[in-house]
Amino acid sequence: MSDRPPQRKAINRLLVEPSVSFQLVRPSTPEGAIRLLSQAGAGEIAVLAGGTDLSWDLDQARIAPIQVLSLGKLPWKYLRWENGSLVVGSTLPLRALELDPHVKRRLPGLWEAIRDVGSPALRSRATLGGNLGRCSPVSDLIPMLLAFDARVRIVGPNGAREHPVDMVLQESRRTSLGPAELIESVILPASGPSAYLWQRVQPVNDISQVGVAVAFVPERPHWHIALGGLQPRARRLSEAEAVLRSARPTRFEMELAAQEAARRAEFVSDKRATESYRRRLVAVLVRRAIQTTVERMPKPSPARKGTR
Amino acid sequence: MTRSDAEPKARGAVEYGTDLAAPHMLWAALVRSPIPHGRIVRMDLGPAREMPGVVAVVGPDDLRDLLPKGALEAERPVFPLDEIRYRGEPIAAVAAETLEQARAAAAAVAPELESLRVDARIEDIFPEWPSEAAAKDPRVVGHVHARYGDLDAKFRNAELVHSETYRTSGVHQVAIEPHACLAEVRDGTFHVRSSTQTPFGVRDDLASILGVPPSRLVVEGTWVGGGFGGKGAAFLEPYAVLLAVASGRPVKLSLTFEEEFELGRTTLPSIIRLDTAVSRGRIVGRRVRLLLDTGASLPGRDFAVGYSIGFLLGPYRTEAYEIEGFALQTNQPPFGPHRAPFAPQSVFALESHIDGLARRLGVDPIEFRKLHAWREGDRTAYDQPVGPFGLEAGLEAAARTAGVWRTGLPPGHGIGVACGFWSTATGAGGEARLRLRPNGLTILQGEREIGNGSVIRGLAAVAERVLGLPDDAIRVEYGDTATAPFDSGVFGSRTLGALGQAVEKAARSLAHTLASRVGAPAIRLEMKNDQVVVVAGRRRQKLADLLTPAERTAGGVVALGKHYAPERTVDASRVLAGTVYPYQDFTAAVHLAEVEVDRETGHVRVVRYAAFQDVGVAVDPPGLTGQVEGGVVMGLGTALSEEMLWTPEGRLANPGLLDYRLPRIRDVPPIHVKTIEGFAGAGPFGAKGVGEPPIIPVPAAVANAVADATGTRVFELPLTPERVARALKLL
């Protein structure tokens, strides 16, 4: 320091960048954001929509972007109801969804999936768009979006498009978004009751060994079952769904659907659980999630009840 | 009563090890081995030396120039001179102007290494239980063997023999503050500031590692952001000193969290076999065998086994026994103490075993323990007399609570009991210097407060109790190893029990001096208008008026208290190999856990918890409750979720807090803390240390509750959902 020539210090600063060094850009319009994305080369820019997952990659030096594009100033932190559908702006913190009484009442499965992501501090940063865009195989939210048949509104240099969530997800950590495209919002169509169940070693700040999303929707097939925690990405299990034929399946049908789900799911063994334990969990949690969903169905009117 | 460190800590105003800084300071980084076992064929440190900002790089070849001859023969070399013994072992160190520069230079070192066979786990060395010949394997690096009585006859004539094997996992201390230190050379003396539980211990370790006399070393402790046993010996200090010598500048070294995990000094896995012979409903013989992974440890391997094995016999009367333990050298990082070193793991095995045996005999588990529990005057396995011991009283209190819990217990729930036993390390000595000034009392001593309050509150509470001064008139002061009176450090729950005795003696000596000055048989002190007043019967005098002119100049009356306990011995005729350790003190803990087990997934939730702690006398009740609650929470981690996962290749798969799972606040049940008083320990007024005992019975209590709820025993820690599911044969 004082016993070193000053030039040496200046040179050091130029030569050695700190391990995490990038330019943070915060455009205030979607057009500005898309322009920045279009101008950047591959790997030069990373999109920040909360950052709870991105910061991990930066910290571990798995990526080394020149720029980090924050979506924090875009006007996408909204939540609104349109014709019974819930439209969630992609940068709305999960905590806002969790605290909304209508979300909890009308989409209990979504609320359950959100409520147990990380911790309250993390949910104050994390966003639905970020979660979807990162496309993690261990996401707790993606299975629920799949079960709801959510649609994703994407904006990019060629305008806006809308796709079912299943088409947006490709494989672990990969979506079908173009390099200059962004998720503007997620649209959750009107649905009947739903439930999300998970198993973790610990309830808070842990990663689900398995996540099970179930939704009952007005159109056929009525029952939607999606699983998370599997490879390469969360997916619907139509084989298990097909077992459930009525709004009030018998216990036998529930068990059959759960067994079918456990049989069809593609799992791997890793440090969080073995493949056989994950299969066991699916068999239990699918049955319980269907059961919970049934319990959330509107009660039959007392008059009808009397005639049975 | 307040904790005087609470407010400055909340404001961020205290200096922890990680906050250390000095003018012209350099930052250090370690070059760590990418392989778990092997040799350095070639390591060129030249390129790293040319990196920007780098001031010094030291490796094995530099030791000869930097250190006196003796250091190269040290039991623990600074760098591997022969073999690399674990992945992440430091093989060189770098000091640079900035932390980033130091890390960049460390990353640029590309040694040519030769890999050797990796023994990552106990099973890699002994897939089967070792025969006597196998015990000669060079990887068996410690052996302890003791026996007493005609064991063979007891087993031959037994009505029932209960035999089981238990397994435990490695657990990390996870102090929230990483290890950190700063070293500099001043006038030919090495000055080290470090976040440590044992400044004097670090000084002596450094002296042997560096080959310099202790008189040339000064170690100063900082505030410690949690220790739990992990900050009790020299660790980073030698690297910082070497770099300070090589660079001529102060050098700071602190670890990342990943390094905290990979460098270890933690509890490592064990396999425990227990055979118990029963006749007429009583235990008549015990056979205990232990395989303890001591990783790449060099010193202290025998100690780890000898110490662990005492817990496996437990606080129970035994007519005949045989205990045998082996320390195994694997390519995991060195073994290190973790709050009540190895007791929670040993007690998990023992108390699960005793519980299962009671159930097998159709006897109430609490009554069965009472039948065998040590009482004062019984003899230990090593033939020491048992001192005042609150185990039976604790069991009786637990039985009452268990009875209440048992009524209306929901289906799927179970209640488990477990006993723990601890010997407070009151044998390790310490001194304290008390200075009574006209405006208050100061206690100068050689420990640092590591967070639990035993120094800043416990020692003050002792002086408070002897002298009558209010706690805000008492200040605890810290010194370095050159200025503070000697103390062994914070370990073995000894601060209150051992250093507290030194404080008590000094306080009594002050009281005696003042009593003779006022011509009274006894005095007490109180504060009036910020002045110390000496009260003798109805007479009250200001302290200021009782001081001699010399004392007025010096600033008050001084007393030095020393605590050096008499050495305890064991019956050596019972020890066939290695060393076993005498008990210093006898502290009991009885815990009750109620759990709910998901019979379909194996998930365990602890519903409520009760801890009955034998304390002798509660000197600082709020601090005591906090310690017991903290111990229970930490024990719940060992019981349910904490586990270092090593791959067969010797790599730690979970070096971070996402997949190394500490208990979160949502995992913590209501904890009822009850003290058992009246069984006096060696500490001041009969107090016993409570730093470690409350963690000991937790894994066993939880496992026994799971067995109660499901009828199935889990033989391996931690009780993760998947492990419980396997035990329940769900997959």
Mutation target to probe the B interface, by most B beta carbons within 10 A, among A4, A19, A284, A291 is A284
pLDDT in tens, A208-234: 999 999 999 988 899 999 999 888 899
Name, in order, each residue with C-beta under 8 angstroms of B144's C-beta and a sequence gap of 6 or more: B302, B305, B306, B309, B323, B324, B325, B575, B577, B578, B579, B580
The verdict on a CB contact (< 8 Å) between B731 and A276 is yes
Return the CATH number of B16-116+179-254, one of 3.40.50.10490, 3.40.50.720, 3.90.1170.50, 3.40.1130.10. 3.90.1170.50
Q: How confident is the model at residue A18 (pLDDT cuts 50, 70, 90)?
A: very low
For B71, list phi and psi in degrees, rounded to 5: -65, -30
Q: How many residues does chain A have?
A: 308
Using a CB–CB cutoff of 8 Å, tell me whether A135 touches chain B: no
Is A25 a member of any domain?
yes
Does A151 fall in a domain?
Answer: yes
Q: Is the pLDDT of residue B722 over 70?
A: yes
Q: What is the pLDDT of residue B71?
A: 67
How many C-beta atoms lie closer than 10 Å to residue B216's C-beta?
14
Of A166, A188, A210, which residue constitutes the final position of a domain?
Answer: A188
The angle at the Cα of B586, spanning B584 to B589, to the nearest 5 degrees, equals 140
The CATH number of the domain holding residue A85 is 3.30.465.10
Identify the weakest region by mean pLDDT among B107-111, B133-137, B147-151, B676-680: B133-137
CA dihedral over B360, B361, B363, B366, signed as positive or negative: negative
List, as ranges, residues 107-126 from A with C-beta within 8 Å of B.
119
- CA-based nearest distance A168→chain B, Å: 28
Task: Scan residues 259-298 of A and list those with Cβ closer than 8 Å to B.
Answer: 271-274, 276-277, 279-281, 284-285
Pairwise CA distance, residues B654 & B661, whole Å: 9
Q: Which chain B residues have a beta carbon less than 8 Å from that of A202?
A: 641, 661, 663-664, 666-667
Pick the residue from chain A with its C-alpha nearest to B726.
Answer: A277
Q: Which residue among B184, B237, B642, B692 is the active-site one?
A: B692
Fold agreement between B340-424+583-727 and B430-563: yes
- H or E element that contains B594: strand B587-597
* A302 domain residue, yes or no: no
Residues B265-289: b if buried by 16+ CB within 10 A, e if exposed: bbbbbbbbbbbbbbeeeebbbbbbb
Which of A30, A45, A70 corresponds to the end of one domain?
A70
The answer to whether residue A307 sits within a structural domain is no
- The token duo for B574 is 């019972």
Does the distance separating the beta carbons of B101 and A16 come in below 8 Å? yes
The torsion angles phi and psi of A68, rounded to 5 degrees, stand at: -115, 120
Interchain contact A207–B (C-beta under 8 A): yes
Instruction: Give the model confidence (pLDDT) of A30-52 as tens digits.
Output: 999 999 999 999 899 999 999 99
pLDDT band at A139, cuts 50/70/90? very high
Tokens (6 digits) for A118: 């990380």
Contact of A209 with A189, CB cutoff 8 Å: no
A210 and A182 share a domain?
A: no
B107 in contact with A at a CB cutoff of 8 Å?
no
Using pLDDT thresholds of 50, 70 and 90, give the confidence band for residue B460: very high
Q: Are residues A154 and A226 in the same domain?
A: no
Look at residue A11 and tell me whether its pLDDT is greater than 60.
no
Q: Is A280 close to B659, i.e. CB distance below 8 A?
A: no
Question: CB–CB of B663 and A202 under 8 A?
Answer: yes
Confidence of residue B73 (pLDDT cuts 50, 70, 90): low
Same domain, A118 and A170: yes
User: pLDDT category, B685, cuts 50, 70, 90?
Assistant: very high
Average pLDDT of chain B is: 94
- Give residue limits of the domains in chain B: 16-116+179-254, 340-424+583-727, 430-563
Interface test with B, best of A16, A17, A138 (most B CBs within 10 A): A16
For residue A13, is it within any domain? yes
Measured in angstroms, the CA of A253 and the nearest CA of chain B are apart by 18
Place A201 in a pLDDT band, splitting at 50, 70 and 90. Answer: confident
Residue A14 pLDDT greater than 70, yes or no: no
Where do runs of H (alpha helix) occur along chain A? 6-15, 30-39, 54-59, 94-99, 101-106, 108-115, 120-123, 128-134, 141-147, 165-168, 238-241, 251-264, 275-295, 302-307
Domain final position from A136, A156, A188? A188
To test the contact with chain B by mutation, choose from A117, A199, A267, A280 the residue with the greatest count of B C-beta atoms within 10 A, namely A280
Any B CB within 8 A of A202 CB: yes
Cα–Cα distance between B467 and B443 in angstroms, integer?
Answer: 13
A148 with A246, same domain? no
Q: Note whether B97 contacts A: Cβ–Cβ < 8 A.
A: yes
Residue at A301 is within a domain: no
Identify the closest residue of chain A to B102 by CA–CA distance.
A16
Question: Quick one: pLDDT at residue A302?
Answer: 62
Q: pLDDT value at position B72?
A: 64
Instruction: Please tell me the predicted confidence (pLDDT) of residue A303.
Output: 56
Smallest Cα distance from A187 to chain B, Å: 31
- How far does A65 lie from chain B, in Å, by closest CA? 18
Q: Which residue of A has its CA nearest to B725?
A: A277
B692 counts as catalytic: yes
> Is the model's pLDDT at B348 over the cut of 50?
yes
Are B322 and B358 a contacting pair, CB within 8 Å?
A: no
The answer to whether residues A175 and A217 belong to one domain is no
For A202, which of B103, B641, B725 is closest by C-beta distance?
A: B641
Least confident of A16-25, A161-170, B659-668, B681-690: A16-25
- The mean pLDDT of B631-643, rounded to a whole number, is 97
> Residue A277 and residue B722: Cβ atoms within 8 Å?
yes
Is A271 within 8 Å of B654 when comparing Cβ atoms?
yes
Instruction: Give the rounded percent of residues in chain A with a pLDDT score beyond 70.
Output: 91
Rounded alpha-carbon distances, angstroms, from residue B371 to B162, B368, B611? 17, 5, 21
Residues from chain B contacting residue A119 (CB–CB below 8 Å): 664
Min Cα separation A279/chain B (Å) = 9
A44 with A140, same domain: the answer is no
Residues A49 and A97 reside in one and the same domain: no
- Best of B261, B722, B724, B726 to mutate (most A CBs within 10 Å, chain A): B722
Is A304 inside any structural domain? Answer: no
Contacts of A2 in chain B (CB under 8 A): 24
At the top level of CATH, the class of B340-424+583-727 is alpha beta
Q: Does B100 touch chain A if contact means CB atoms closer than 8 Å?
A: yes
A60 touches B: beta carbon within 8 Å: no
Instruction: Measure in Å the smallest separation between the Cα of B719 and chain A Cα atoms.
Output: 10
DSSP at B459: I
Contact B658 A17 (CB under 8 A): no
- The full DSSP string for B192-217 is EEE--S-HHHHHHHHHHHHT--GGGE
Which ipTM did the prediction report? 0.88
What is residue A307's predicted lDDT score, i.e. its pLDDT? 43
Predicted pLDDT of residue A231: 81
How many domains does the structure of chain A reveal?
3
Give A221→chain B minimum CA distance, Å: 29
CATH architecture of B430-563: 2-Layer Sandwich (3.30)
Mean pLDDT of B436-444: 97
pLDDT at B264: 86
Mean pLDDT of A135-154: 96
Smallest CA-to-CA distance from B455 within B424, B478, B439 is with B478
State the pLDDT confidence band at B95, using cuts at 50, 70 and 90: very high
Using 50, 70 and 90 to split pLDDT, how confident is the model at A20?
A: low
Beta carbons of A1 and B97 less than 8 Å apart: yes
Domain that holds residue A94: 79-188
* Domain match, A268 and A176 both: no
Same structural domain for residues A88 and A177? yes
Percent of chain B at pLDDT > 90 equals 87
Domain identity same for A30 and A95: no
CB-count burial class (<10 Å; 0-12, 13-18, 19+) for B605: middle
Q: Stretch A81-88: mean pLDDT, rounded?
A: 95
Tell me how close the Cα of A179 comes to any Cα of chain B, in angstroms: 31
A284–B601 CB contact, under 8 Å: yes
- Chain B, 16-55: which have a CB under 8 Å from a chain A CB? 23-24, 51-53
Cβ contact (<8 Å) for A19 and B103?
Answer: yes
Read off the pLDDT band of B544 (50, 70, 90).
Answer: very high
Question: Which CATH number characterizes residue A206's domain?
Answer: 3.30.390.50
Nearest chain B residue to A284 by CA distance is: B600
pLDDT tens digits along B5-59: 999 999 999 999 999 999 999 999 999 999 999 999 999 999 999 999 999 999 9
